Amino acid sequence: MAQSAGIEVDQWNDTIEIDGKIIDADKDSEKIYILLNKLPGYISSTARYGEPTVMDLVPDLGTRLYPVGRLDKDTEGLILITNDGDLTYRLTHPKHHIDKVYIARVSGDPTDDSLDKLRRGIMLEDGMTLPAVIQKEGDHIRVTIHEGRKRQIKRMFAAIGHRVIGLKRIQLGTIELGDLPPGKYRFLSKEEIESLSKFQFKLSFQKKF
């Protein structure tokens, strides 16, 4: 049987997946969990493509780190950076329905009837969205979704005739951004890491049984 040619892997910039699950290149390394308040203008990638990345905002700790999921270049707020491939898979795979909470500022003043379309789920070019939790709060709208489609919130509001002019993620699962200043980072506390682990176990247990 013919053998296929080997593939060279860059441990710092390539992500290895088998059946959709990220494989840790540094599985024996100490796990690191960083919460970053991403600035607009930074891309959520380890590869530069000639643009600043979220990795420029955190320290070089001598191990391969990568962002958990992505925020659009012009979106700000909470993003986790880690070397824990298993947690990354659990937080980003659609089957786990992880809460992602955003503050959106949009053009115009959406009516309750329009917002109800988002609460029920709305058809986009890549299919129907899951129902979202939508709350008007003064001059902005709090949006909770459980998916991670590309530019999803912007496309949802565009579908009801409103342009998103500002978007900030403030919560992912059990982790909240709080008062962390823009462009700054901090390491997750032991309690926060445990809360994520317990949250994931609970979801997996409920799905199985």
Active site residues: 72
Q: Give the chain's count of helices (H) and strands (E).
A: 4, 13
Residue 132 phi, psi (nearest 5): -110, 155
CA dist list (Å): 90 to 26, 49, 86, 187: 18, 27, 6, 19
Query: How many residues comprise the chain?
Result: 209
Nearest to 39 by CA among 50, 53, 29: 53
**Ranges of H-type helices in 101-160:** 112-120, 152-159
Residue at token pair 């994520």: 196
- A 10 A CB-CB count for 191 gives 8
Tokens of residue 169, six digits: 């993620």
DSSP reduced 3-state for 24 = coil
Amino acid at 197: S
- What's the distance, Cα to Cα, between the start and end of the chain in Å? 43
Contacts of 184 (CB under 8 A, 6+ apart): 36, 37
